[in-house]
Structure 1
Amino acid sequence: MDRNRQTGQPLNRPNDTLKLPTLPPSARLPFNRCNLPAVILGSLTYQKHPVPLEIDGIQDFHADLFRTLAGFPSHPERAQRFQDYMTVNFLLDELDEAGLTPGRGRKARANANYPRLVRGWSFDSDGREGAVLKRWVESRFGLLARHHAGSLLDRDGEAYQRYLTEGTRGLYATNALESQLDLLYTYCQYELAREFPDRAHLRLYRGINRMDEHEIQETCDDGLHRVLFNNLNSFTSHRERADEFGDYILEAEVPLPKVFFYNRLLPGMLKGEDEYVVIGGVYEVDIATL
């Protein structure tokens, strides 16, 4: 990939904007809950020219939180303040006040919160927690899931019906779980902007075993590939780490606004330090084999 030698960012080749593929209609919804439609934020043009993404109303509704965070100089202090705010705002330690009544499902519902979803994704992105997160991406960004324990392209197929069922059950009787994810994403973007004030992309890597699970739209003359990713994906910031997950290594310049969560965001939540959970769409990537 051609890059500026000083910034490391991709260079625009002549007339690129005239031929960049858009997001196929089958991969997007006509509406979402953020400031850009899915056809734009899921396109290759957005990968090359990203702008901030904002979920409707979150910054304004939680403005006091972000004003408070601005007064803390260190990341650990801000992370602790954020977690405290989530606990109080969503009554995570006072579930009776949140409306959770005693019953058979009380324990399971008590654990249905944003830390549990993030940990569940890290353990198995094709599990129930993964289904909830992918459904959240569909709702907020309008990008349809392409894979969950199997291809989801057949809307009448068993895999798609199972995906809908798991996502629905994962949200049932929870305490504003999608709103928790809205604020988690917004806080992630706040921290990335502070850590990388002069950058628009991160160079990330994804190790895979089977290329047929990824939709390659086009192979370019320079050997790069234009790939339609699932609506939520795991990447790593270390190529050596990606080697452990497959025989193919996908290298991409990921726009900062497409990072939903990364392990260092909330210290102590996850064991690893290099995983990034990335919102999908069309990306131009370099594919290498081991």
Structure 2
Amino acid sequence: MDNNRQIAQTERHPTPTLPACARLPMNRCNLPAVILGSLTYQQHPVALEIDGIRDFHAGLFTTLDSLPDQPTRAQRFMDYMTVRFLLEEPEEAGLMPGRQRKSRVNANYLRLVRGWSFDSDGREGAVLKRWVESRFGLLARHHAGSLLDHSGDAYQRYLLEGARGLYATNALEAQLDLLYTYCQYELRREQSAASHLRLYRGINRIDDHEILGTCGAGRYRVLFNNLNSFTSHRERADEFGDYILMTRAPLPKVFFYNRLLPGMLRGEDEYVVIGGVYEVEISTI
């Protein structure tokens, strides 16, 4: 009887660990994917740091510490990115003049986040998801189709788009490393007492997500894609589905949000969040 009861409890409350098929054995941050992608991490987050980035750019953050105004800090960050990565001097970065100049100059961190806002399944989205894989060890689950079959056409297109998006760019992944680190700097500075954000997502069917288990009426344990868009306003989520998915996103999993830099995203309330296992609530509009 006791064994049956334990089995039943396990079925209702599955082990809150990121499945092995959703993670890599290595990454480039201070926690392995099996931890940072788990439900336990969602409930009890700690800071995530990409290896060496904060130390390598220590001078930037020392300067930002002295600036009390967020718009001024944002402009200083953007100026730093322009100079550090020679964004306006492509020849100095090794790019040969020619027909590709315009497209390669535009292939920077701003272009990627704007491209995500328009189409997360486009080339820019593939680059961002590949970046999450390499830095955090969380495998993409979807990109213009399911990526679970690594021999399938969707997965091959995903790899191709990610490679094309990085080709002949100027340290594009390093730009993303610094963008994430700056995002975390601003979140900790503006919301020092918070550990989570309450975020929303409009959906049509919960079955469109990978459900790992249920936690009671309207509550699920879900394995999200490795990068996802949410909104901080429930009313905004109403526009994208018949149901509202709500979750508490750990601050360290926020990759960027539109208020971080001028003109970054179209909506004023969009957050792009690193995935893994989350507990969510589903409600009707």
Paired AA for residue 251 in structure 2: L
Question: 1:42 is matched with which residue: 28, 37, 62?
Answer: 37
Q: CA deviation at 1:110?
A: 1.2
Structure 2 distance, partners of 1:28, 1:254, is 19
Asked if 1:174 is matched to 2:169, the reply is yes
Question: 2:148 is matched with which residue: 132, 150, 153?
Answer: 153
Which one has the bigger helix percentage?
2
Is the alpha carbon distance of 1:253 and 1:20 closer, same or farther for their aligned partners in structure 2, counting shifts above 3 Å? farther
What's the CA shift string for 1:191-248, capped at 9, x where partnerless? 0001110010000001123433310110113541000000000000000000101112
Structure 1 distance, partners of 2:231, 2:263, is 18
Structure 1 distance, partners of 2:27, 2:61, is 24
Structure 2 distance, partners of 1:208, 1:90, is 39
Check whether the contact 2:28–2:136 (CA below 8 A) recurs between aligned residues: yes
Q: CA deviation at 1:45?
A: 0.1
Structure 2 distance, partners of 1:284, 1:53, is 20
Alignment partner, residue 55 of structure 1 = 50
Once the two structures are overlaid, the 10-residue window that deviates more, 263-272 or 150-159, is 263-272
Q: CA RMSD in A?
A: 1.1
Asked if 1:83 is matched to 2:78, the reply is yes
Q: CA deviation at 1:151?
A: 0.4
Alignment partner, residue 96 of structure 1 = 91
- What TM-score, normalized to structure 2? 0.94
Q: Percent identity?
A: 80
Asked if 1:288 is matched to 2:276, the reply is no
Alignment partner, residue 17 of structure 2 = 22
SS at match of 2:279: strand
Structure 1 distance, partners of 2:253, 2:37, is 10
Asked if 1:235 is matched to 2:221, the reply is no
Question: For structure 1, which runs of at least 5 residues remain unmatched after alignment?
Answer: 1-17
Check whether the contact 1:20–1:45 (CA below 8 A) recurs between aligned residues: no
Q: CA deviation at 1:273?
A: 1.0
1:81-230 equivalences under 5 Å are 81-230=76-225
Structure 1 distance, partners of 2:274, 2:148, is 18
SS at match of 2:223: strand
Alignment partner, residue 10 of structure 2 = none
Paired AA for residue 275 in structure 1: E
Is the alpha carbon distance of 1:155 and 1:49 closer, same or farther for their aligned partners in structure 2, counting shifts above 3 Å? same
Alignment partner, residue 278 of structure 1 = 273
SS at match of 2:187: helix
Alignment partner, residue 262 of structure 1 = 257
Structure 2 distance, partners of 1:258, 1:67, is 23
- What TM-score, normalized to structure 1? 0.92
SS at match of 1:110: helix
SS at match of 1:66: helix
Question: For structure 2, which runs of at least 5 residues remain unmatched after alignment?
Answer: 1-12
Q: CA deviation at 1:272?
A: 1.9
Question: 2:67 is matched with which residue: 61, 69, 72?
Answer: 72
What's the CA shift string for 1:76-110, capped at 9, x where partnerless? 01000000000000000111101110233222111
